[in-house]
């Protein structure tokens, strides 16, 4: 790095900024210079951070500013998992990026149980990405006039919104008020993209029209009624991203042979933990550890990890049947995509390819829906395995063996 001594000196004296390096040197060299500078400033070696295989040119342009290297998370696979979805059909190996010992092993056991039971039924009930700008109005009367104008001009709003996007389709408009504040929740179909950028751009153009026609002042393109990256009742009820459910019928003997417990004990843990315990805690999610699987798969598959908070709204249900149980998970909000964002990073692209969902499907949206079905089935596997371990009093033993 001696040839870059001048750059290091300029960073140290403040005459050059970290973000400006790519203007003068290659992306690879800029990363090297920044990392060396940080090492010298902190006295900390970052040699492992500097070992990576991904091409940095596109990453530094699209995914990460001031890049100095990468964080490597161990990647495991669980499966095969048999899925009987509308988009995901067949057996799949689930990629999970995690540092939590026992997680992959647990999901793997759940995958085995589901596969032996004939596979997970999976269906998508809703597919929309939302953005909810907030306007200020002069009075309550003005707020009502603004809401009325929006509802009576949906066709005009839809036409203008869809001018900004090739695949985006405005599906629904809802208004919510708080005093003189008007929140307009737009719901878009976004094809195979997760769609936040798409709906933000479309919403911005629509907001200009609303302000012009109503006199309401746009305060923020996001007024937190979307609700993005925050747990909320509105998201739990109305959905965001993919609303997807996965279920499987397990026989009494399968519960006994795979999970080493009985049906009554499994149901008791579910009722007292997932339902009563979550209600007592006023949790917005009623599940065992859905976010665990979602986080591991999101990191592996280039999804936005912050959306794990919405995935945690999952509700797990177990119904008694004559010969066993029907276990299911419902995820009201699973924002996923197979193009854009972190899906461009080559390691994550490999994992998407493993599932057969990289890029855009032949029909816009089918790859993202397939991915959502696979993740939901993986969540079901994780829920069953953890509940089974707790019913059999095996949880501590598993973590002692695999988690240390």
Residue-number span of the structural domain to which 200 is assigned: 133-220
Write down the pLDDT at residue 123.
Answer: 98
Q: What's the pLDDT tens digit per position in 395-404?
A: 545 555 665 4
Q: Are 202 and 161 in contact (CB under 8 A)?
A: yes
**C-alpha to C-alpha distances, 292 to 186, 295, 352, 380, nearest whole angstrom:** 30, 5, 19, 12
pTM of the model: 0.94
Give the residue among 325, 329, 328 at the shortest CA–CA distance from 267: 325
Q: Is residue 319, in this structure, part of any structural domain at all? A: yes
What separation, in Å, do the N-terminal and C-terminal C-alpha atoms of the chain show? 39
Instruction: Specify the pLDDT at position 395.
Output: 59
C-alpha to C-alpha distance for 309 and 73, rounded to whole angstroms: 20
**Closest of 285, 287, 291, 175 to residue 233, by C-alpha:** 285
Interior/surface letters 12-28, b for 16+ CB within 10 angstroms, e for the rest: eeeebeeeebbeeeebe
HSE (CB half, 13 Å, CA atoms) of 31? 23
Question: What mean pLDDT is reported for the chain?
Answer: 95
* Statement to judge: residues 56 and 103 lie in one domain: no
Assess if residue 225 is contained within a domain. no
Q: Find the angle CA(291)-CA(115)-CA(245) to the nearest 5 degrees.
A: 45
Report yes or no on 304 lying in a domain.
yes
The residues of the chain scoring below 50 in pLDDT are 396, 404
CATH number at residue 338: 3.90.770.10
If asked whether residues 193 and 210 sit together in one domain, one would say: yes
**Same structural domain, 95 and 144:** no
Which residues 6+ apart lie within 8 Å of 117 measured at CB? 248, 249, 250, 251, 254
Among 317, 261, 243, 245, CA closest to 287:
317
Q: Which is it for the CA torsion 336, 339, 342, 345, positive or negative?
A: positive
At 312, list the tokens: 């945690």
Token duo for residue 108: 């793997």
* pLDDT confidence of residue 398: 53
CATH number, position 142:
3.30.70.420
Counting the structural domains of the chain, the total is 3
DSSP 122-184: EEEEEEEEEE--EEE-SSHHHHHHHHHHHHHTHHHHHHHHHTT-SS-EEEEEEEEEETTEEEE
Q: Residue written as tokens 């990392």?
A: 35
Q: Note the pLDDT of residue 399.
A: 54
State whether 122 and 266 are in the same domain. yes
Same domain? For 121 and 147 the reply is no
Residue 40 is classified by DSSP as H
Same domain, 246 and 370: yes
Let me know whether 250 and 392 are in one domain: yes
pLDDT of residue 403: 56
Residues 85 and 146 occupy one common structural domain: no
**DSSP summary character for residue 194:** -
Residue 293 sits in the same domain as residue 378: yes
What integer pLDDT is reported at residue 401 of this predicted model? 61
**Each residue's pLDDT tens digit, 127-172:** 999 999 999 999 999 999 999 999 999 999 999 999 999 999 999 9
> What pLDDT score does 400 carry?
54
Give the HSE-up count for residue 56: Cα atoms under 13 Å, Cβ half-sphere: 20
Cβ-based burial of 257 (10 A; exposed 0-12, middle 13-18, buried ≥19): exposed
Residue that the structure tokens 């299911």 belong to: 328
Q: Which residues are catalytic?
A: 100, 304, 399
Residue in 252, 262, 287 with CA at minimum distance from that of residue 379 = 287
């Amino acid at each position: 790095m001696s040839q870059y001594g001048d750059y290091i000196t300029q960073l140290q004296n403040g005459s050059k900024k970290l973000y400006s390096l790519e203007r003068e040197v290659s992306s690879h060299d800029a990363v090297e210079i920044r990392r060396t500078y940080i090492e010298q400033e902190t006295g900390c070696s970052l040699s492992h951070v500097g070992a990576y295989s991904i091409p940095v040119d596109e990453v530094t342009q699209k995914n990460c500013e001031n890049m100095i290297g990468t964080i490597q998370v161990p990647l495991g696979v669980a499966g095969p998992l048999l899925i009987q979805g509308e988009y995901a059909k067949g057996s799949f190996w689930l990629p999970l990026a995690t540092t939590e010992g026992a997680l992959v092993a647990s999901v793997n056991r759940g995958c085995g149980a589901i596969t032996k039971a004939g596979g997970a039924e999976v269906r998508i009930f809703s597919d929309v990405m939302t953005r909810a700008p907030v306007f200020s109005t002069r009075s309550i009367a003005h707020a009502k006039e603004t809401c009325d104008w929006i509802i009576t001009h949906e066709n005009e709003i839809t036409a203008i919104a869809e001018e900004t996007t090739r695949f985006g389709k405005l599906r629904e408009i809802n208004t919510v008020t708080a005093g003189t504040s008007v929140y307009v929740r737009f719901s878009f179909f976004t094809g195979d993209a997760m769609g936040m950028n798409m709906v933000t751009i479309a919403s911005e153009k629509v907001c200009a029209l609303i302000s012009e026609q109503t006199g309401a002042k746009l305060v923020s393109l996001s007024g937190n009624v979307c609700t993005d990256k925050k747990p909320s009742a509105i998201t739990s009820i109305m959905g965001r991203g993919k609303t997807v459910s996965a279920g499987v019928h397990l026989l009494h003997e399968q519960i006994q042979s795979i999970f080493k417990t009985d049906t009554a004990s499994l149901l008791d843990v579910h009722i007292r933990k997932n339902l009563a315990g979550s209600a007592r805690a006023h949790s917005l999610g009623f599940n065992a550890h859905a976010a665990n699987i979602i986080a591991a798969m999101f990191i592996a598959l280039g999804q936005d990890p912050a959306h794990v908070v919405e995935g945690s709204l999952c509700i797990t249900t177990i119904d008694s049947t004559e010969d066993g149980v029907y276990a299911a998970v419902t995820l009201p909000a699973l924002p996923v995509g197979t193009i854009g964002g972190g899906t461009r990073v080559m390691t994550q692209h490999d994992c998407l390819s493993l599932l057969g969902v990289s890029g855009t499907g032949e029909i816009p949206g089918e790859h993202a829906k397939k991915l959502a079905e696979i993740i939901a089935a993986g969540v079901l596997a994780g829920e069953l395995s953890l509940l089974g371990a707790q019913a059999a009093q095996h949880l501590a033993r598993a973590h002692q063996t695999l988690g240390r």
